[in-house]
Amino acid sequence: MALEHHLWFRCLVPLVLLGLLCYASWAFCYALCYREVYHKFGQKSIGVGLMFGQLVLVVVLIGTWSQLVAIGPGRQPKVLPFRILPENVNSDGEEELSGKSPQHPPMTIVPPSLYQCDPQGYPLWCTACQTIKGNRTHHSSTLGYCVPRFDHYCVWIGTVVGRKNYRLFMQFTMYAGWFCIFVIASIASFLRRMIASRKDIPRVDPNILVLLALCCVFMLMVGPLFLSHCYYMAKNRTSLEVIATKRRSKATKNWLCYLNPVDGLRYVFEFKALDTQDYWKKRGVLANIKEFLGPQYWFWLVPLGTNIKTHDPNSFEYEVILGPYQEVASDQLRELLHSRIANGDFAATFEAYGDKDK
Ligand SMILES: [Zn+2]
């Protein structure tokens, strides 16, 4: 068992981080705001104001963090195999259409118009969860289930970031950045007076110096992380897709299976690893960001809940099962696939049995 699968190890780093946050909060409120600003410089309202501002940020950070872990990355509902081959042909050679009688719930479902597949056009299967992996779904070995739009496992917060808690993750990094900026700016504005007011060594309370160093280090980590994720959202990519594209050699390929509405045939397309990260990109930066943060702008800044609505996956229709976890192909991608069909640029073609039921 890898180290990161052990609960104690997964809790270790987040606990250290929580400890550092508590220490930072204490050092800021007591050593800076109370002892220096409030007591020594006599600027009582400024001291109290800074303390209040910092405590609000700490409450927002811990609140967002708890929700990140409690809500989790989302769990893909079980998707039955796609009806690509005929099934339930009885001894007389007559087909029993599955799902028509309540005694025989269907074992397969009608395939969606577009799905990620292998070179033969078979969808990707998770043996651990016994389900078809929806587009962009990845099995998390840490959590033991399939996560829709899996992004990454965050060591710091101790959970997986996926479709359901992605917005909270972005908000957490943003408010962590604001926390660091707030503390650094407050210390910087009083640093000169603190040095001038002390005759003995050290000229500044060591707690304040440690706090300043901690916030600078965290700002250097959180800042680039936040900006790179803004870029990924604008391009509609997940961290996993970016990493996979980088890691794979240029020879590694990926496949998409698409139902051509014109002739009713399925086409399998081969893609180079580099092309796969732009499968889901839409026209316009805002359209892409909305797919991650939700359509309501004011919720982009409010770290409350998730933008994934609960749904009832108890259905035999792909679109209903996946509900809000369904990934939508862009017009660009469809146009590209149609032009590839016209040019004969596809790996395979076949007639999927279930497409007749559409
Ligand atoms: Zn799985």
* Residue 5: pLDDT band with limits 50, 70, 90: low
Dist CA 245 CA 337 (whole Å): 21
Query: What are the CA-CA distances from residue 300 to residues 118, 172, 188 (Å)?
Result: 37, 11, 30
Segment 299-325 shows an average pLDDT of 90
CA of 275 to the centre of ligand 1 (A): 24
Average pLDDT value for residue range 99-108: 66
d(CA 122, CA 120): 6
CA of 77 to the centre of ligand 1 (A): 10
Among 71-85, 88-102, 151-165, 203-217, the minimum mean pLDDT is found in: 88-102
* Portion of the chain with pLDDT greater than 70, in percent: 92
Domains of the chain, by residue range, sit at 1-83+105-358
pLDDT at 90: 53
Amino acid code (one letter) for 26: W
In the structure encoding, which two tokens stand for residue 321, read together? 């099962």
- Rounded CA-CA distance 237/123 in Å is 21
Beta bridge partners of 116: 256
Catalytic residue among 29, 146, 154, 180: 154
- The span from the CA of 231 to the CA of 173, in Å, is 14
End-to-end alpha carbon distance in the chain: 45
**Confidence class for position 327, pLDDT limits 50, 70, 90:** very high
User: Would you say 150 and 73 are in contact if contact means Cβ atoms under 8 Å apart?
Assistant: yes
**Sorting pLDDT into bands at 50, 70 and 90, what band is 309?**
confident
| Cβ contacts of 315 within 8 Å, gap of 6 or more | 321
**154 classed as catalytic:** yes
Exposed / middle / buried, residue 358 (Cβ in 10 Å: 0-12, 13-18, 19+) = exposed
Identify the pLDDT of residue 312: 82
Can the peptide bond before residue 112 be classed as cis, meaning omega within 30 degrees of 0? no
Q: What percent of the chain has pLDDT over 90?
A: 72
> Which two tokens mark 248?
């794979």
Give the pLDDT score at 9: 80
Span from the CA of 140 to the centroid of ligand 1 (angstroms):
7
Q: Name the nearest CA neighbour of 258 among 143, 147, 348, 157.
A: 348
pLDDT at 199 over 90: no
- Of 200 and 98, the one with more pLDDT: 200
Q: Tell me the pLDDT of the chain averaged across its residues.
A: 90
Question: Rounded to an integer, what distance in angstroms lies between the CA atom of residue 356 and that of residue 358?
Answer: 6
Distance 151 CA to ligand 1 centre (A): 15
- CA-closest candidate to residue 75, choices 277, 311, 279: 311
Over range 2-15, report the average pLDDT: 78
pLDDT of residue 4: 58
Q: What is the pLDDT of residues 243-270, one digit of tens each?
A: 877 776 555 788 999 999 999 999 999 9
Q: How far is the CA of 133 from the centre of ligand 1 (A)?
A: 7
Closest listed residue to residue 88, CA positions, set 71, 70, 100, 74? 100
The region of weakest confidence among 138-147, 198-207, 210-219, 314-323 is 198-207
Cα torsion angle, 21, 22, 23, 28, sign:
positive
pLDDT at 23: 97
